[in-house]
Structure 1
């Protein structure tokens, strides 16, 4: 899981520069629409694997958010950005808060689940926290049907002279297993102009729509898939949505 990666450990403070919150606005709007597909008015939302809170920056304008993540350092970043939101440290596979929400949201942190067992456990967590009539929205980076080798890059600069740039390269070394590989290279610039280069390998889970549908249904959800493109040149991306019967 994410605790094994420097991105979410000692490098967490760099996250607002590596992947600036403004970059999440369009996707957060799509997620908000998916959350609103619930059969009840959505006000209270639990986000599992909330990371640095960059989706929350946008979603909190519409919803009351509870943000849960495994990494205390990422939660610290999120608290600075979203002080009005409740933050909880916990693992999406077994978190139990003892209360329900109108909707549950899991962004790309779900990609760090590499087995059907872990994915099923997280879906069960979402179901346990979802009110009857509510919805759970999962946004993995890829499903088997949408996966294609790709590269990505980004980053930004702070007001204090610090800056970050990243390059990511994702491919599938073995099509017969349930994960793909992403190589990340970070270039980090400190206030004094000194720089550090970091390389890190991540494993990202890859499951087909049939697996998602089966596991969502087994948990008690009514499953559906929404496939979207950000632009004409962008790869398709699946949102997996589970509606909890009222």
Structure 2
């Protein structure tokens, strides 16, 4: 993981309003209501980040959050003081307990090969209670990856508060289409009152996988998978959707 989870952790929190996270949290609540058979209300959030999802889910569930970054966890704890947060690697953490819902948003792509992806999914499944629901997504797949795909600079990506202005630009690059790795470069432009304009660069290395192979990993672990649209509208996934959200229940 790069600077975005250390020195630049404040930037992500600065540009986040929570609107998108609330929509995603509402989606989780609908999915849980539809598929969960267990009677409890415990939720394990893997790669919990800054705690935005947890802010909207904590009224419904008893949450435990896991993240690899101490800096990020401090921000999450400040946002949600009553939630238990722990530092851990999603591939090998062991809480020695099971949860009714296990979710992971915006974190699974930090697995850089199929071996690690399978290890992570297997570990998440190990923490899932009988009758529980596993929910996760990878917002880029081999099938929908856009070489030099960009995000940023238009008006909706400009932010100003507390005498600080910030905007950002992001570009994705896959050097070798035969492997499972791509690079996502983020450039932040920051202006603080009375100070010179500065820019910060972060390079995040991420995994890029085929949908069919992800589904096979899940199936081999004894789960049935339901695919939903990555716009979190509760529509079923199709190739026209931005990416799939995986909803997994044991057979």
Query: TM > 0.5 between the two?
Result: yes
- Give the distance between the partners of 1:42 and 1:172, measured in 2 at CA: 42
Alignment partner of 1:34 out of 20, 31, 42: 31
Alpha carbon RMSD of aligned pairs, Å? 2.2
**TM score, norm. by length of structure 2:** 0.86
| Farther-moved stretch of structure 1 (44-53 vs 55-64) | 55-64
Shift of the alpha carbon at 1:192?
4.3
- Give the distance between the partners of 1:111 and 1:223, measured in 2 at CA: 18
- Equivalent position of 1:184 in the other structure: 186
- Give the distance between the partners of 1:185 and 1:194, measured in 2 at CA: 16
- Give the distance between the partners of 1:58 and 1:152, measured in 2 at CA: 26
**TM score, norm. by length of structure 1:** 0.88
Shift of the alpha carbon at 1:89?
0.7
Instruction: Answer whether contact 2:139 2:230 (CA < 8 A) is retained.
Output: no
Unaligned runs of at least 5 residues, structure 2: 234-239
Alignment partner of 2:107 out of 109, 117, 124: 109
Matched ranges for 1:111-190 at <5 A: 111-149=109-147, 150-153=149-152, 154=157, 156-158=159-161, 160-190=162-192
Instruction: Answer whether contact 2:229 2:244 (CA < 8 A) is retained.
Output: yes
**Equivalent residues, number:** 239
Instruction: Answer whether contact 1:127 1:220 (CA < 8 A) is retained.
Output: no
Instruction: Answer whether contact 2:22 2:56 (CA < 8 A) is retained.
Output: yes
- Give the distance between the partners of 2:121 and 2:217, measured in 1 at CA: 7
Alignment partner of 1:242 out of 227, 236, 248: 248
- Give the distance between the partners of 1:123 and 1:230, measured in 2 at CA: 21
Instruction: Answer whether contact 1:130 1:244 (CA < 8 A) is retained.
Output: no
Unaligned runs of at least 5 residues, structure 1: none
Instruction: Answer whether contact 1:111 1:140 (CA < 8 A) is retained.
Output: yes
- Equivalent position of 1:48 in the other structure: 46
- Give the distance between the partners of 1:118 and 1:14, measured in 2 at CA: 28
